[in-house]
Structure 1
Amino acid sequence: MSLNPAMLAIRFLLELIAIASFGVYGWRAFDSPWKFLLVVLLPLIAAALWGTLAVPGDPSRSGEAPVSVPGAVRLVIELAIFFGGAALLWAAGLPKWALISVAVLVLYQALAYDRIAWLVKA
């Protein structure tokens, strides 16, 4: 399976937004000195999961998988981080941005049906 370069670029931007949303939540949801740690730690945890757990031969990546997981597991991780970022925007008191994020993510996932089918089979 080969991925459209435009879809890869959109996917990359969505990844960055989702991971940044974890930091936004860490900053806005906690009114204590812990927020300085959470604004860094939450996105790092999300990015570590995203970058480490992969399906071997994934065309949206280098094809390498530091920790190999089945396609269905990877799909759950991706959906959890993408839509988890939107949920955290809502929880951070940014419902408009959360809804926009969900709308864009649903549209992207609908257009990326071939990748979802590949992950389910992998």
Structure 2
Amino acid sequence: MMPVATTDYREEIRSRFLMAVRMILAARVNGVKTISQLAPMIGSLQQNISQMENSAPGEGRFPTLEQVARICKTFNFSAEWMMLGKGNMENTAELNDKVAVHEDRLDRIELAIEKLVKKK
């Protein structure tokens, strides 16, 4: 018989979820400044998030799987990090794609500037 895990994974997920919430609000990601703006974007109510923040460990509200999925997808957090605490906090595959697009744009801008300078 396998031993039963004593760690409350729900508490760990709630902790990472609330860390993500605080980061979103602090950085004003997508213009989100308040929990009342954030809550509908992740399928929650303002009071539910507040209850998560104010609950004692092991008690109160925990984020639902849908809320975890929505915050990861909407704000580019890694689901592996959110659920397991492993890997990078950000979804690096998507982040790498965005960086590649911006690098391509910068290359094109540099070429356009070089052409303009040569014309003068």
TM-score calculated relative to the size of structure 1: 0.34
Whichever of the two has the greater Rg, that structure is: 2
Greater relative contact order structure (CA < 8 Å, 6+ sep): 1
